[in-house]
Every structure is written in C-alpha cells, then in structure tokens.
A and B are shown apart, each in its own frame.
Chain A
C-alpha cells in the first residue's frame, strides 16, 4: 500500500477511438473520485496524441483508457509509445473494456500495465492503481 503518499493520485481517464458512449468511463471516474483519486476526465473520441498531450500537461500518475470498439491493438500501444518518447517513463498505463483474452498478453508486452475486463469492481481498479502508481517526493 501507499502509506507514504500525502497527496492524491492523479488519474487521466480517456476514451480512445470511436466508441459511441462513455457510460463505463464515467462510472469509473465517479468511483475513483469516491476512492479519493483526482480524476481528469477527457470525454469521447480521443486520439493517442490528444491523450498523451493531456497526460503530459496534467502530469498524471496514471492513464486509464476505456475502449469497446475493437481498435485497442492500434491505439493502446501507440499511447505507451508516445508517453515514453516524451519522457513520461514512470506513468502507469492501464486499460479496460472489451478486449479479447488473446490480445491481453500482447498489450501487456507492449507496456499496458493491466487490462480490466467486464465485471471488474472499482475497488479492484483503485487497489491496483494505489499499488502500482509511481511515488512522488
């Protein structure tokens, strides 16, 4: 656990790609707020560039992406790549949504920390972020 952290963990919640709704992302944003996180919500239809630009300006500890459209293999590794190229080496990147098991290992190999499928509780996600988000001075 993260007992030495005196400031809230900052999380960017983003919807990459062309999903038509963001119900799940909003429920998660609200749930994380209630878990004591500072959540920056960016809305629908974001490109990887927009997500990384926002994450850089906000200096977040975690980028959480929700994706249902099936474009995860194209979009999620790109976010990791762009983040690393900007020097954001210590930002935790995680994803959730509809992602086939067969792709999970590939995404993890590409630098996505964890993939949360349907049925995951907010408590599980909050616990994972607390455990794996970078520490700050």
Chain B
C-alpha cells in the first residue's frame, strides 16, 4: 500500500513523481485516501481553480496550451487536469490532450495529468476536484480542469471550479442554440474560439444579444463573451486577464456561497453513493428494483439506512 501522507509531503515539497503517484491514488480511490482528505485540503495554497469546457473540437486543448504559454510568461506555475471519457463497453480510454501540450512537457513549472472518466460509480467529479486540490497543495496556480462539455457529469466538473470558461466555435449553430439551457448558463466566461473563421464576430454578437436579454429568475449578470484564436494566440492575453479578474468575483460574499453549495452537494452525492454501494444489500436491492418489487426511492432509502440484513 502506498504511503499517502508521505506522497502528500513529497508533493508539497515539489517532488513531481510523488505528486504523480498521489494523483494515481486519488484516481484509484486507494485505501487510506479518505483519511488523507483533511490533510490534503488543509495543504491547499489558495490556487485559482478554473474549469474549461465546451463541445468536442472547439479547441479547448489548444486554448489551454495558449493560456499556459501566457501564464508562464507571467511567471505563474500552471497545473492541468484533463478529463476524457472512458468507453462504457471496454473501460478503456484514449487521452490526447497532451498532443497540444508537448511544448510544455519538459517545463518543470507546468504539471499536466490526463484522467479517464471511468464511469459514474468512479466518481470522476470528486476525483477531479481532489486532483486539483493536490495540484494546489503542490503550489500550482492557476489549476485548470479541462473537460469535454458533452454531458451532465462534465458540467458538474466545471461547476466545481471557481471560474468556469465555456468554449464555443463560430459554427455553433443559430441563435436558438444560444438560448437553449445548459452549458452556456454555467459559464462565468464565454469564449468564441477559432476567431479567424468567417462568422466569428457574428457568432459572438449573437451570443451577446441572446444572453443579455436573459434574466428573469437567473438573477446573474450575463458572462463576458471573448473572441480568441488559440492557434495564433490572438485574444488569449485578454482571456487570461478576464479569468484572473474573476478570481476575486468568485471569492466574493455574493458568489462564494453558491460554489460552497455545489461542492457540498457533490461531496454529499459522492459519499451517499459510496456508502450505499458498499451496503451488503446493494445487489439484492438492485435485483428487487429490477424485479419490480421495490421502487427506486424505497431502494435508495434502504441503502442509506443501517447496514442490517435482518
């Protein structure tokens, strides 16, 4: 069994292999991890947690690389967790986010880790969050979490961040796409990437127009909309500034409680699922639901109750 407190000490002392192995322990939910969590979070240094999400092919990885260039120029140490989906059939995954990042591979002040989502029970949102905490403890700031914005769990991951950046492309569709609920609503900053393509300005204008008329019950200001060309670096410095400026907003008395609620909700869901799936009656309860003898809510009730087979 790995010596987790030792790995944490090593990570805090900037030993990269120790940090890498701590991240593996987090990913695998290794024995002893739960006991380490208070120390892990207490070791945090207040790094800015930034989520970057958007549809496949919108240029997230290229943008993360360009932002990393920019932050390195500013003397900051950048931590990155890139999450890619696991195959629901084989459990395998291909993680290609490094392809765009290899220029930083040998830079000791950039640490990038690829994580596969490993299915719902794997608790990827919580694991990503703990991984970001480990990078924070090791002194990286900002810490970027990159996910494909393709499903609810990716949105969940993005929402654990202090600042959520949603990356779109000019070809995202007509105005109706912009008023659909979901991804755009969780954005603190909205980026139209591939700004050198025809129609980029128009797409940004459409988004601005649609989002500025939103209101009603949402009760928050529409996010700034930025135009970038990640491949050339155009607009990237301005985006880095906007992310930086959002740090204090995210930590303000107005915004911080909403994030705390998201975090506790996520921790609660994680803990409840974990506890329930270790219940001795897990399999038999699932079977009862599948046989139609028990409804899912009663099942959940039972699995959250005492582990008592009597």
Contacts and interface: CB of A to CB of B under 8 A. Distances in A.
Nearest to B30: A137
A33 B17 contact: no
Interface stretch (B94-102, B203-211, B243-251): B94-102
A42 B98 contact: yes
Interface residues of A, number: 32
B106 interface: yes
B129 interface: no
A54 interface: yes
A47 B287 CA distance: 53
B279 interface: no
A131 interface: no
Contact of A43 (B27, B99, B106): B99
Interface string B78-95: 000000001100111111
A40 B98 contact: yes
A34 interface: yes
Interface in A17-39: 29-30, 32-39
Contacts of B86: 8, 38
Interface in B224-269: none
Contacts of A38: 86, 92-93, 95, 116
A7 B28 contact: yes
B288 interface: no
B9 interface: no
Given A50-B106, A56-B20, A137-B2, A41 B96 contact: yes
A88 interface: yes
Contacts of B20: 56-59
B128 to A, nearest CB: 15
A53 interface: yes
A86 B21 CA distance: 13
11 contacts: A7-B28, A8-B86, A33-B92, A39-B93, A41-B95, A42-B99, A43-B96, A57-B20, A57-B113, A59-B21, A87-B17
Given A39-B92, A42-B102, A46-B102, 15 more contacts: A8-B118, A30-B94, A35-B92, A37-B92, A39-B94, A40-B98, A40-B114, A42-B98, A42-B105, A43-B102, A49-B105, A50-B106, A56-B16, A56-B17, A59-B24
Which 6 pairs across A and B sit closest by C-beta, in order of nearness?
A33-B92, A43-B99, A59-B20, A50-B105, A36-B90, A36-B92
